[in-house]
Structures are given as C-alpha cells and as structure tokens.
Structure 1
Amino acid sequence: MEENMSYGSDYKPIPASSVGSGVGIQVLPDLFCYTVQIVNIALIGTKDEFVLVDAGMPNSAEEIISVIEEQFGEGSRPKAIILTHGHFDHVGSIIELIRQWDIPVYAHPLELPFLTGKMSYPEPDPTVEGGMIAKLSSMFPNEAINLGDSVRPLPQDGTIPHIPSFRWIHTPGHTPGHISLFRDEDRTLLAGDAFVTVKQESLYKVMMQEHEISGPPRYFTPDWDVAKQSVLKLEALHPTIAVTGHGLPMTGEELTENLGRLARDFDTIAIPDYGKYVGKDKH
C-alpha cells in the first residue's frame, strides 16, 4: 500500500529562504499559517479536529510535525492533508508526513495524475521575465510524485472532509487541478498559488517577504488565460482575509484594493512580458 509511495527522481532540497521562514501567524482562532523556507502551510480547525493544507518543502517533515505539536499538543495529528496543488514546494515532505500520521490526502481529480506518478508538470521556465528565482527555477523538481492510494479526489460537491465550514473552488491555470479554499460566513480565503502576496520570481522580495499582490509564480504557470479567470473568480468572492502559498496574509482594505487591481490589470501585473508559456496557443 503506502510502501509504494515515491518522490520524483529529481526531488531535492532547494537552498532558498526568507525572513519569514520559521514564523507562524495565528490568522484566526481556527486558522494558523506557517512559513517553511519560502512556502506557506496552514492548519484549519481546532485541537480536536484539524487539517493541514499543503506539505511544505523537501526535508521539512520534522519541522512541520513539531509546529503542529507546539500548536495542538504532543502527538497531535491532522485528520487529513488537503493539497491546493502538487508542485514540489507544496508536497515536499508529504510522504514522510503520511507515514508519520497514517492519514489520507485530498486533491482535485485533475491533480491526481501528478500525485500518482502518471504525469509530470510542464518544466519550469527559467527564461520567463521575473528575477533570480525564475532564473534558478530549472533546478526545481517537477517530476510527478506517487502517493499511491493515500491520495483521494476531493468530494465533487465542493465540500472538504473534516472542515465543513469551508468549500473548495477550482482555480486552475497555475496547475490543472489547483484549488482554493473558501469560507462563506467570514469570507476567509486560502488561495494557494492562484495569486500570491509576494513577487515570487524576485529573490530580494522573497527573502524580505515584501508585501505585494502578484499573480501565480511565473516560472511554474503554463496557462495564463485560465489563471486570469481564476483570479477573477476569487476576486468576485470579496474575501476579507487571504492566506496565499507565498508571502504574508493580506486582510481588509489592503486585500480588497490589491486583489481588485490584480483582477482589473491582470495582463500587466501578472502576465510576464516574455517566457515560453506566454501568448502560446493552448487550444
């Protein structure tokens, strides 16, 4: 069963970090966000029942386990791992975590081929307009990992196991099965990489966690038309809080203004001027 799990043959730790690395933020009483190097994981729920959203960078399992035990007590384990998508920085330690906790993983059906060893993601684009991290992206793992029967499709009705107050929303573009999580009652959004709050291509901005709304990470986004539709879909929800895959949480007026501007000016803010996935006919 789970013994058949494996990472892609190109899996390796990436020596990238930020001033936010190792910092946790209690965003809401039942929402905790923590930065592993350059990527965020989130815990939704309370001590009795919670889930982990995304699974950090390679080699970060021990750190993630200790953060959870600090938060909820020794021996605490999530009921499940919910994946926004399967890029290496969001599933980097997932096999160790599954083995530690013996829990299921849920992802969108369209993401399952990348999580069961059947398909690799398009290669990252180091030529894309952006900055140092974009240039380094050819080092990033993109081969499919195989979680075997530990990974399951999310329920088709939009519900998310163990967190009934949230629903999942399909927000493709960055990947085919990318999802965001949304709670209608207080308009809390976990956007994954559908948009982020740091310019993820820029090494300086990532290192300093400079707060700036941005489209999905450019070097890993192959479908810009669809990515734009996903941002428009999320902006139409008028979120009051957004936790994203990279960068600090954004709230209130700042979020409303920035997300509104990103939706309005997506072509100029988010879409790079050049790169191998820009302006390509994908139909």
Structure 2
Amino acid sequence: MELKQISNHIYKLTVETNVGIPIIINTWYIVNDDNVYIVDSGMNSYSKTQIKAALFLGTPQALFLTHGHGDHINGAKEIAESLNIPIYAHENELPYINGELPYPNKQVVERTNVAYKVQPIHQSLDVPFTFYLTPGHAPGHVVYHHDGDDVLICGDLFISSTTALHPPIYKFTYNMSQNIKSGTIIDDIQPYLISTSHGEDIVYAEELYQIYTFKYGEAE
C-alpha cells in the first residue's frame, strides 16, 4: 500500500488486493487549499485507510466515482458516512448503482450498498477539475481532468503501463468498441499525465492512442 503525490494537487493511493485475481487498485485525492476530493473508493476492506489518508491531506468534501463497478464503489458507503460527504457519479450510471438494472453484459444487478445515495454529477459543481463521459466499459463511466496540473484520471478507460495503453478487462466491459472510441479523449485533452485505476501512470504522447487503436481497434 502506497500513498504517492503524482502532481502538485493530486495524490494516489495504490493497494495490492485480490478480487478473484490479484490486482492493484488506484484511487486518488485531489487537494485544493484545505479541501480534499476523493476519486473512487476502492474496496471496503481498506476504507479506513482511505479515510485516514483523506483526513491527513485536509478536509474531505466529496467522493467522485468513475463508475459503479465493485472495485470502485465497494468502500463508498463507509467513506461517505464516516466523513459525512456526498457521493457523485454520472447520471447514466445511477440505474446500475441503484440496482434498478443489471449492467448491459450482466444478468444480475449490482449490490452497491449505496443505492439511491449517489447524486448525479454536474458541471456546475465548484470543484477544481472537469469530468467527461467516456462510455464503453460502463454506460456512465467518466474521466476527471485537473486543468491546473494537467492530469487525466482515467478509471477503467484503459489499463496502462509506463509506456503503453491497453483495454480494460473484456469480462467487465459491456462494449469494447465504444470504450476504445471513448479513448480519443486523451488526444482531445492531451494531458501531461494519464493515471488509471489498474496500472502505472503514463506521460501522454501523440502516438499513444494511435498505437492503442492499431492493436485493439477491431476488438468487439
């Protein structure tokens, strides 16, 4: 488990865990003066660590989700209730978070423990970052761009190494073709740094997305 500062205003918590397979899960803290905004909750098994990290960095204000899959939302209830902060996600994701519908490639609804406790994110919120809808992995998947630090928090839009981008796990992605098309956001924004939920941070380069689509663009 490691808490690392990746830019002037952003810290990343990396946890090695097991969700059927061993993986790393990254979550983030965006710090603006004394205000702290958490991006993704990770698993409930280390929610107390999330809470301690947020309080160490300042005064937590809200929890923002990239999407509603378990490894991104599982700890949301304890974090939000302990810190008395709201939870936000894209409105397209709320039917799945609320258990009203199963994800498009699933037969069973998610049991998130925060049903009807998540608010729709909107651009009028007074926060130091912007969100962009990037569907494909999940219908309401979003990425967050910190304009000042020029960091793009990508959730499961990609899995990344320090030199290349790869698609998320097919089993948990309802429309891989759409997900790959959503990846054009990195060329639209051209951030300095790309940070993903299950990979290493990677510095943006013009050829990154070209190589990615060359390798994976025909995937369905």
Task: Give the deviation of 1:267 after TM superposition.
Answer: 2.1
Selected match of 1:90 from 53, 69, 72: 72
Q: Does the CA-based 8 Å contact 2:44-2:78 persist in structure 1?
A: no
Q: Does the CA-based 8 Å contact 1:121-1:144 persist in structure 2?
A: no
Q: Which residue of the partner structure matches residue 193 of structure 2? A: 241
Q: Would you say 1:52 and 2:38 are equivalent positions?
A: yes
Task: Give the deviation of 1:258 after TM superposition.
Answer: 2.7
Task: Give the deviation of 1:98 after TM superposition.
Answer: 1.6
Q: Would you say 1:259 and 2:183 are equivalent positions?
A: no
**Alpha-carbon distance change, 252 to 231 in structure 1, aligned in 2, over 3 angstroms:** closer
| Max Rg structure | 1
Q: Does the CA-based 8 Å contact 2:177-2:217 persist in structure 1?
A: no
Q: How does 1:20-35 map to 2 (within 5 A)?
A: 22-35=1-14
1:88-124 CA distance string (max 9 Å, x none):
0001211111220111111000100122121233567
1:35-61 CA distance string (max 9 Å, x none):
122211000123511200000023111
Q: Does the CA-based 8 Å contact 1:60-1:92 persist in structure 2?
A: no
1:6-41 CA distance string (max 9 Å, x none):
xxxxxxxxxxxxxxxx11221112111111222110
Q: Does the CA-based 8 Å contact 1:109-1:153 persist in structure 2?
A: yes
Q: TM-score by structure 1 length?
A: 0.68
Q: Secondary structure at the match of 1:56?
A: coil
Q: Number of residue pairs matched?
A: 212
Task: Give the deviation of 1:226 after TM superposition.
Answer: 1.1
Task: Give the deviation of 1:193 after TM superposition.
Answer: 0.7
Q: Does the CA-based 8 Å contact 2:34-2:59 persist in structure 1?
A: no
Which amino acid in 2 is paired with 1:39? Answer: I
Task: Give the deviation of 1:153 after TM superposition.
Answer: 0.4
Residue identity (%) = 28
Q: Would you say 1:177 and 2:140 are equivalent positions?
A: yes
Selected match of 1:64 from 50, 59, 63: 50
Higher strand share: 2
Q: Does the CA-based 8 Å contact 2:7-2:149 persist in structure 1?
A: no
Distance 2:66 2:173 in 1: 14
Q: Does the CA-based 8 Å contact 2:132-2:142 persist in structure 1?
A: yes
Distance 1:94 1:221 in 2: 21
**Alpha-carbon distance change, 146 to 93 in structure 1, aligned in 2, over 3 angstroms:** closer
Moved over 6 A (4+): none
Q: Does the CA-based 8 Å contact 1:106-1:151 persist in structure 2?
A: yes
Distance 1:44 1:90 in 2: 16
Q: Does the CA-based 8 Å contact 1:193-1:244 persist in structure 2?
A: yes
